[in-house]
Structure 1
Amino acid sequence: MLAVSRMYDRQTYPDPQSPDRVLLILDLTASMCRRILMGVARYARVHTRWSLAPESMDSAYTNLAKQAGNYIGMIGMLRVSDAPDLEVVRASGLPAVNVSNNAPPGDFPAVLNDDAEVGRMAAAHLLERGFQHFAFASVGNFQFNVERLAGYREMLAGSRREVISVHSGSDRRGIARWLRDLPKPLAVFCASDLTSRHVSEACRLANLQVPHDVAILGVNNDELICDTCDVPLSSVQPNFEEVGYRAAELLHRQLRGLPLPEGPVRIRPVGLEVRRSTEVTASHDVLVAKALAIIRHYASSGMSVKELATHLPLSRRSLERRFKKVLGRTLHDEIRARRLERARTLLLESDRPVIEVAQAVGYADRRRFARDFQTAFGDTPSAYRKTGRVRT
């Protein structure tokens, strides 16, 4: 690490017209890679005088083998499946940071999307919609598929639910046959937006309505995919800009000879963009479905279980028993979960003080809010904001 630092010191801005070049190996046809690039650029503008040199996945490694001396370091999608290309990276001797979620363990410092948390967030959303039957669809044998499915299963297990079926592949007719055989209404979490599109097209082939027969939820919030389907697709939004920002920060630390984290840095998703593909309440019990809809809209106002019961033709006790029987969780748990989900979004997407966030979602007691939030998400509100948002 010291040798890298000395090399960097000798080359630091000898000419204002020739800033140090950083190679970026990214597929810029993919929205996630463009967001990573934006995060890298944000860090570089504020903290360095780097010249960013994006290269396509096809040409980057060939150019690197010939021109490694033109760069001081690199950030890229260094994938397990690209073994010959990884050898080119190693042979270059350049400091590198990996941003691929199919990363070779331990080869390079890495900043990765927290894919298990993506799966947990997906399950929480589909549970909140009242589904009882859950499936998972993906394409390819990628590590991020494995981790997203694991998080999905973990969250469902906490509500005594399970993934009843898993499908891998992009053939629409095969997906249609798979969907026909599963109980309805069905919630399908897809490992990517592209897989969501495949499932949506398969539903049309199988004469299944989205979202009433099959609700579909993807990952990446690629608007070009999500907004152009027959039924616009809901999607979990990873924080790819933060991935890029933190990757640039990690490369900068390498170049200065500073200590690095022992393992990959994991970045939590920002939230979830709800579109029509999950805009449904899946309970066959009309009163439970109505209770869910009311909670979804008014939980953050400070509404209590007692107040909720006044909007329905049932006593509070009868409503609580019915809700627990149908969904396996209490009304109080549901209201608290919706408040905390809203709080998570406000923490990541606004600069409001924690006390104001607590009040905005119906908590009068900041300490109780902090305790509930940490129980739900594993961090205090302040720590969650610090580790999960995009730096500006």
Structure 2
Amino acid sequence: MYKIILLLDFAEEYSKSLMKGINTYSKEKGPWIFCRMPIFHRETVGIDGILKWALEWGADGIIGQLYNDKEIEKFVQAGIPVIAQDFKERFAEIPNITGAYHETGQLGADYFLKKGFTNFAFYGFSDIVWSRERSEGFEKRINSTGHKVHYFEHKKARSTELWYYKPSSLSRWLKSLPKPIGLMACDDNQGQHITEACRYLGIRIPEEVAVLGVDNDEMICDLSDPPLSSIALDVEKGGYDTAKLLDHLIKHGITDYHDIVVKPVQVITRHSTDIYATNDDHIASSLKFIHQNIDKNLHVDEVVKQVPLSRRALEKRFLEITGYPVYKYIFNLRIEKFTQKLLDTDMSVFEIALDMGLIDSKNIARQFRQVKGCSPSVYRSRSRAGK
């Protein structure tokens, strides 16, 4: 029965999801005993105080948010396995709970590109690894299409300053941006800052600025006005994998380790990005019709009927603007919606298919397997078990 110290920000949805995955593994292999250490101990007692408590309690391992301090080696010298969340920068001395940050940025870029945007912006922090690398992935993908990214990056967060409610460098930047523009924020907190600043400035969302966050923290996303679209991450799996690695380190020593990489899952669309940035009214109408009717058994012929164009003309213009044939766009969106229902509800595959107007549940399951590499039931169980 292992004794594990959790030094996490228990108010954050990310940390809560990590703990769900950790707890799932501990129930399978344990049970483990957890000490939930308040995050302020990091500042008040420091590494020496945390280490002293760990030794007195007889802790077998630590999972936590720690500063990138060379004194972290004291844990290594004491033989206590530590896995650190890279909430500032990655550690070189111990394993990290990190993320596929470049991949997340690329996913955000692709999302806006599919919606027809030609103007792009990123808002975040240059001195934090997860923000910096998300911006790099976003920019690399945008640049590959011949476009550029407008940046606004703080050196550090000042959580007590209500800078977005008054004239500031941020408000001047938002006013100066070409519009319409697709703006990716480094996380949901910063995404909500943007929606608040835009509301204060009278900038319309999503008509002028479409805003996308990261983490899919539902409380923050719903608190935003309008509700914030966000990239969901497979954090529970990260928690499960973290506990599995910690188990290995306890049993086999702390020198044989690897980083835990949390992957992005999909974009959850809410009102803040519910728009299609194109000057072609016919394509905009087609995109709006597709998104409004994706929960029906939609076919290309039905889309063609919405515009005064031949099927060939529509297909050509649609491909030029979105980068996809109409049928492929419908297919991708259907799989995205199916996946969202799979993760957000307890409905069976058959029930989800009916809810989306699909008669043949076996066909959508086959298509899902082609895209995701496994059956819908396996995908759901893996996500919920954090495996």
CA change 1:187–1:102 in 2 (3 A) is same
Amino acid at match of 2:123: A
RMSD (Å), alpha carbons: 3.4
Any residues of structure 2 matched to 1:1-392 within 5 Å, and which?
Answer: 19-60=1-42, 61-69=47-55, 70=57, 71-80=59-68, 83-84=69-70, 86-100=72-86, 102-156=88-142, 160=145, 162-169=147-154, 171-172=163-164, 173-257=168-252, 263-299=258-294, 301=296, 303-345=298-340, 364=363, 370-371=369-370, 373=371, 380-381=373-374, 385=379, 389-391=383-385
Identity %: 26
Which stretch of structure 1 is more off in the superposition, 66-75 or 258-267?
258-267
TM value normalised by structure 2: 0.80
- The 1:317/1:251 distance shift into structure 2, 3 A limit, reads same
- Alpha-carbon shift at residue 264 of structure 1 (Å): 2.0
**1:321 counterpart SS class:** helix
Give the SS at the match of 1:323.
helix
Kept in 1, the 8 Å contact 2:215–2:233? The answer is: yes
Greater CA drift, 195-204 or 379-388: 379-388
8 A Cα contact 2:230 2:268, kept in partner: yes
Offset of 1:369 from its aligned partner? 6.0
Task: For residue 149 of structure 1, report the CA deviation from its aligned partner.
Answer: 1.9
SS at structure 2 position matched to 1:342: helix
- Secondary structure of 2:252's match? coil
Give the TM-score, by structure 1 length: 0.79
Cα distance in 2, alignment partners of residues 316 and 386 from structure 1: 37
Shift of 1:306: 3.4
Q: Aligned equivalents of 2:379 and 2:326: distance in 1?
A: 27
Cα distance in 2 for residues equivalent to 1:133 and 1:106: 37
The question of whether the paired residues in 1 share the 8 Å contact of 2:122 and 2:151 is answered with yes
Query: Aligned partners of 2:301 and 2:256: how far apart in 1?
Result: 49
Letter of the 1:168 partner, please give it.
E
Residue 282 of structure 1 and its aligned partner are, at CA, apart by 2.5
The more displaced of 138-147 and 318-327 is: 318-327
Specify the SS of the correspondent of 1:188: strand
Aligned partners of 1:300 and 1:362 also within 8 Å: no
- Please state whether the residue corresponding to 2:178 is helix, strand or coil: coil
Structure 2: which 5+ runs fail to align? 158-162
In the alignment, the residues of structure 1 paired with residue 361 and residue 299 of structure 2 have an alpha-carbon distance, to the nearest angstrom, of 10
Distance (whole Å) between structure 1 residues aligned to residue 246 and residue 131 of structure 2 = 27
Q: Match for 1:219: what amino acid?
A: V
* TM-fit CA distance, 1:181: 1.7
Q: CA deviation at 1:165?
A: 0.8
The worse-fitting range, judged by mean Cα deviation, of 324-333 and 214-223 is 324-333
Letter of the 2:271 partner, please give it. Answer: R
Q: Which amino acid aligns with 1:132?
A: T
